[in-house]
Structure 1
């Protein structure tokens, strides 16, 4: 089962602390599964932790979160070498690809070395739902604002480009991201930018933004456009998702 058309859920959330576990999948991860249309079997999630160097502790917590949610999770690791003989087969056999946050610049470099950029595009075209948080959101766009290069935020402009926009994550929790994104749209670096507060996700069918959703009440999504050489921001009110189990 795959989504009926190329689908991305780009987020600034998806995880929360559990009562018995260090990590649970929050509503955004469950929504990614819903978008895939899977039914009648356990959803297959491919977890990609490249942006945090395939940290083993995080992978273990993600596996536990998947167990609690009733999902089958396969980690795709690239350090110190790919852990799967057939990376493309594993990606295409998934219902959802969930990409963890971290360094989007390092993620892009390592993916390109291993040909994963091409594989992700094939998966997107085939209807595998591509999703993730922070760096796992930025990677699907032309680029966005990042601290991959150091504490001072800088633009990244060479992401996968499946979605022809800039992307701003953690829009309400990192004060520097909004003004930098406004400058990047005003100077034409990005023709348009789509941004999310923490806990918010953006749903794309093909390259069209169709909905904003949130797992936290009161949060927002934003579209930033260039008008008369200046950046103009429009707030989008997200739909509140059902509370995730667990």
Structure 2
């Protein structure tokens, strides 16, 4: 069974509540009429508004929605609960803090077990970079920095590539200097779909949103646009 990971640079229910094309794409990968979808909101300090917006969106999409709090968990058997889900959807926010909480609770290994058992792992922003070796994050105020992440996917990832002007020069400099390895950049509205660690597709909810591959070539960095399929809104 392939390990599926869908990383969104931006978009989805939290950024495009009237255009759920990326969320529908995630759901379609389960081949189930009413998939079980669990939201992890630790990056936003489990914001109640974020959680409510998740339920509103995924109930509209005819899913069996739930969320897991790590501050007030509803079960002692977190691994069993997460492994019973068809999709685990990770929200945006402070990636560094999220990963620290996850590691304390063992989610750094539990999520990989769930994915290996067929659960689709997905997320936006913090929920996109967390699966890679490294992510570009604004978790530390005032700058874009490199963060060691879970390492399920080789390389580096940056979200919001067209939405935050400081992202592109920071990513180029980090790759050029060798601070981070080559990797993918995702515009707001673009998502990369991995199968067993290999890039399977890049899709978007916005006509001009794309993914890009960045790698060092000599003393410079090449930025190659990736073939991106636009998902028509419903």
TM-score (norm 2): 0.94
Q: For residue 142 of structure 1, give the secondary structure of its aligned residue in structure 2.
A: strand
1:82 deviation in Å? 2.3
1:190 deviation in Å? 2.6
Count how many residue pairs are aligned between Structure 1 and Structure 2. 233
What are the within-5 Å matches in structure 2 for residues 78-89 of structure 1?
78-79=70-71, 81-89=72-80
Write the distance in 2 (CA, Å) between the matches of 1:162 and 1:50.
Answer: 19
1:24 deviation in Å? 5.6
Write the distance in 2 (CA, Å) between the matches of 1:9 and 1:27.
Answer: 13
Q: Summarize deviations over 1:135-181 as a string: whole Å, max 9, x none.
A: 0001000122111010221111x210000110010000101111111
- Aligned residue number for residue 6 of structure 2: 9
Match of 1:30 among 21, 24, 27: 24
- Aligned residue number for residue 151 of structure 2: 161
Q: Once superposed, which parts of structure 1, at least 4 consecutive aligned residues long, lie more than 3 Å away? A: none
- For the 8 Å contact 2:160–2:188, the answer to whether it is kept is yes
- For the 8 Å contact 1:140–1:159, the answer to whether it is kept is yes
Write the distance in 2 (CA, Å) between the matches of 1:8 and 1:49.
Answer: 17
Write the distance in 2 (CA, Å) between the matches of 1:25 and 1:104.
Answer: 25
What are the within-5 Å matches in structure 2 for residues 1-246 of structure 1?
4-12=1-9, 13-15=11-13, 23=17, 26-39=20-33, 42-79=34-71, 81-156=72-147, 158-244=148-234
TM-score (norm 1): 0.90
Write the distance in 2 (CA, Å) between the matches of 1:36 and 1:178.
Answer: 33
1:8 deviation in Å? 0.5
Q: Summarize deviations over 1:51-83 as a string: whole Å, max 9, x none.
A: 00111121112112121111111101112x323
Taking only aligned residues, the RMSD between alpha carbons, in angstroms, comes to: 1.6
Gaps of 5+ in 1: none
Gaps of 5+ in 2: none
1:242 deviation in Å? 3.0
- For the 8 Å contact 2:146–2:180, the answer to whether it is kept is no
Q: For residue 29 of structure 2, give the secondary structure of its aligned residue in structure 1.
A: helix
1:104 deviation in Å? 0.3
